[in-house]
Chain A
Amino acid sequence: MKLSSRQAFWYAAFLLIFTAIAAYTVANKTWWFPPLASVQGGEIDNLFMITLVITGIVFIAVHIVLAYFVWRYRGQADRKAAYVTHNTPFEISAAATVAVALVILVGGGTTLWTKIQSPPPADAFTVEVWAEQFRWTFHYPGADGRMGNVDVRFISDDNPYGLDPNDPYAKDDIFATEMHVPYGKPIAVILRSKDVLHSFFLPHFRMKMDVVPGMKTRMWFTPTQAGVFEIPCAELCGVGHYIMRGVLTVESPEQFNEWISQQTPVGMSQ
């Protein structure tokens, strides 16, 4: 049974080494999330950490027990296994423990989900987004302060963003290739796609929402810092998926006003 001991030793050793490396690199945050930039993202990160602690304990405990059993109960010629078929009290208490942990996670998760999915606050600053293969375009109201209607049916060579020709508010709207928002307000985003599925992903804000042709989808978040952030597309949208990059600049209201005043309205005035 020498071979058995050697196998048991290495098996147990591997399980423990793997667990140690995994636990260390995660606890040390060696490779971690991008710097946080939103209120909602902070709450998501908190729930993430709670989940990480609970699942981390289970992960480490199971691997230590597994390694111990592999070593302790390695086969020996002079020994016979115990005849134990089940243990109902153990099963019930184990299941109950898991259930309690899940109640905590489900409670935290659904509460946070409700907050994030509720309508944005009334003072939110709204940006509309057109997604298409393979770029983002950002839609702002013009001097009238009202966003014009858009619809994919109105799109033509002269009207690339599908503004409603009968909507008076559409006449001075602004379309930009970059997204700028004023710091200090919640930001609401309304998403539309011209062609296929896309997904509007803000890694620093921990936000993501698919963009679906034929539908309007929404998200909102509250930035906690100014800066320039990238917007990758997170839903496979074709061969250019990996270069579909947008840029979000969160800046002071003054800087934002200056930026928007430099944008040329492309509305229906032509």
Chain B
Amino acid sequence: MATAEPAAQTHHHEPQSFWTKYVFSQDHKVIAMQYMITALIMGFIGMVMSWIFRIQLAWPDHNLPFMRFLMPTNMESGTLQTPGYYMLVTMHGTIMIFFLLTAILTGGFGNFLIPLQVGARDMAFPFLNMLSYWFYFLSCVVITVSLFVSTGAASAGWTSYPPLSALAKATPGSGLGQDLWLIAIALFIVASTMGSLNYVTTALNMRTKGMTLMRMPLTVWGIVVAAVLGLFAFPALFAGAVLLLLDRHLGTSFFLPHLVLGGEHIVRNGGSPLLWQHLFWFLGHPEVYILILPAMGITSEILSNGARKPIFGYKVMVGSLVAIAFLSFIVWGHHMFVSGMNPWLGFAFVITTLIIAIPSAIKTFNWLGTLWKGNIRFTTPMLYAIGFISTFVTGGLTGIFLGNSALDIPLHDTYFVVAHFHVVMGLSSVFGIFGGIYYWFPKMTGKMMSERWGKVHFWLTFIGSYGVFWTMHYLGFMGMPRRYFNYESFQFLPPSMHALQIIITISALVVGAAQLIFVVNFLYSWLRGPKAPDNPWQATTLEWQAPTPPPHGNWGEHLPEVHRWPYDYSVPGASADFVPQTVPVEVEPSGEHHRRAVAVNGHTNGHSNGHHA
């Protein structure tokens, strides 16, 4: 799909002042870095929150006097108070899901990679793109401010189920903190919508000559499909947030029936808390795919590069991304099997949910197929990409338990669920993000990150994360409910659960310490790291053909022209083990046209290498 370049775009006016260059920039690369750094800071806050509540869960009698400086109202005595605990778990979830993962994967990687990987000079709507970041920034400010209001931040869980989230009297955080939570989410949705419109439009309309849809790298596919999900799913939560604000302040009854709270009648009529759950999960389930699809794309990209082999089953990979995205819209009820929703609806949701296992399994086979007969380079990005296969499989398989309504009955709202979604959606997307940062950092900053410290960071994170989240499955078996401040009131939990709690917390602190290594590596490398070559990983995709770091407008005088698909690694007869997409087929052979013949025969071209497994 070749697009003639509009005359106006050939001479991009490079911004001159500090403000237009670094702050109110309309350059997709600057906006990407703004998104990425803001999201990482938010993620850091979310992680510190998890340290504090993990300490509470492992050592309920802790005494940390220095903490009163960080949390004056909730840790005045050095011991975490109950309202503070609920505030922390709520804000940890909210910040991690929306303000870290969603923001960095679409706003960060989407912004940086889409124009560079499809050969565009910038996004389709640069001004909208800038606005998207600033709305996101504003939403971050609002959610951060909410931590400091006198009644405390929202504490009804990241799912904010009413009535707890609808009535100020129901729980301390349901005052101004909950209003700010709803406003922040609404602002975030505005930001995400503006960004997603850009990502989809740019990928559809601004591809350079020769860049057909089926020549787009899987990263772009993953991010664009996630953006489409966001465009369709986020409005449901936006509507929910507005309705909940009305219920809170104007006495409407969308989510509230008549109820008695603390002896006082709250006279409302006809509303149902289940309506919120439907609206929330209509976003909430696609949301987890908004996080995982870009991470799948990034992982596919890195695996192919690191194995020096074409991605296995490119077309099927694209097809399964789209299939997963479609299915994600019709499975939300699996969060509600025991919610009071008509149990017969459970049938449909069991079936649609378990069908997702098929495209997910195909993707897993294809990642393994990519490694098969490869020549693997163990770079830091590759370590993360291989780790992604492990975490995605581990977390995906536990989803087969929870997606089956009968098994969900005992497991629902226990630590088994916490373990499941952290492994499959939290860890896996974080692995995609870290892999992606180590991989594209050289192009973003023009500097190389330390591989040695990258590997230390990876190993501590990988081992520590399984220490945290694998262990949680056992607590789930025991029937330990989530969102408990402590477990001292209950005897059915065996004493060995204390040991598990301590293992989890120590592992979490180790993982936390590892992230400090990452921060130092990131900042030090940016300032002092060795200069990066244009194509340090010997990769095929377009962004590596741009100068490092790419200037405003990305490509200098002429747009690149694409002659082949993005995975020409180890092409038989080629002079190197990678052929960039810009190299004409007359110069180097391409596997794109005879890839079918090669695959159907099930064996490789004999003279390409001497290796047979």
Contacts and interface: CB of A to CB of B under 8 A. Distances in A.
A235 B413 contact: yes
A102 B161 CA distance: 32
Which of A7, A8, A239 is the most central at the interface, judged by chain B CB atoms within 10 Å of its CB? A239
Interface string A218-251: 0000000000011011111111111101000000
A75 B375 contact: yes
Which of B164, B260, B309, B386 is the most central at the interface, judged by chain A CB atoms within 10 Å of its CB? B260
A85 B312 contact: yes
Contacts of A113: 343, 346-347, 350, 405-406
B21 interface: no
Given A69-B368, A155-B265, A208 B489 contact: no
A24 interface: no
B404 A233 contact: no
A37 to B, nearest CB: 11
A78 to B, nearest CB: 9
5 contacts: A11-B383, A31-B496, A113-B350, A201-B481, A242-B489
A55 B424 CA distance: 15
A130 to B, nearest CB: 10
A72 interface: yes
Contacts of B371: 66, 69-70, 73
A138 to B, nearest CB: 18
Interface in A80-130: 80-91, 94-95, 98-99, 102, 105-106, 108-110, 112-113, 116-117
Given A47-B407, A86-B595, A88-B599, A241 B483 contact: yes
A214 interface: yes
Interface string B254-265: 001111111101
A44 interface: yes
Contact of A80 (B340, B365, B570): B570
Contact of A245 (B315, B351, B490, B608): B490
A36 B595 CA distance: 56
A98 to B, nearest CB: 4
A75 B277 CA distance: 49
A185 interface: no
Given A58-B397, A105-B404, A155-B265, A31 B492 contact: no
Interface in A119-167: 132-133, 152-153, 155, 157, 162
Nearest to A45: B410
A61 to B, nearest CB: 10
Given A81-B309, A204-B492, A215 B272 contact: yes
Contacts of B157: 236
B172 A66 contact: no
Interface stretch (A176-184, A192-200, A260-268): A192-200
Interface bin, chain A: 35 or more
Given A34-B492, A82-B373, A242 B487 contact: yes
Interface string B466-477: 100010001101
Contact of B309 (A63, A84, A239): A84
B12 interface: no
A83 B309 contact: yes
B235 interface: no
A112 B337 CA distance: 14
B368 A62 contact: yes
A109 B259 contact: no
B364 interface: yes
A206 B376 contact: no
Contacts of B414: 234
B485 interface: yes
B250 interface: no
Contacts of B45: none
Contact of B409 (A75, A207, A233): A207
Given A105-B354, A109-B407, A22 B470 contact: yes
A65 interface: yes
Given A80-B570, A113-B346, A213 B383 contact: no
A235 B272 CA distance: 16
Contacts of A33: 410, 477-479
A86 to B, nearest CB: 4
Contacts of A22: 470
Nearest to B351: A106
B1 interface: no
A24 B373 CA distance: 31
A84 B372 CA distance: 9
B170 A195 contact: yes
A259 interface: no
Nearest to A6: B378
Contacts of B155: 239
Given A63-B390, A241-B483, A212 B351 contact: no
A243 B489 CA distance: 6
B333 to A, nearest CB: 13
B77 interface: no
Interface in B343-394: 343-344, 346-347, 350-351, 354-355, 357-358, 361-362, 364-366, 368-369, 371-378, 383, 386, 389-390, 393-394
B483 A105 contact: no
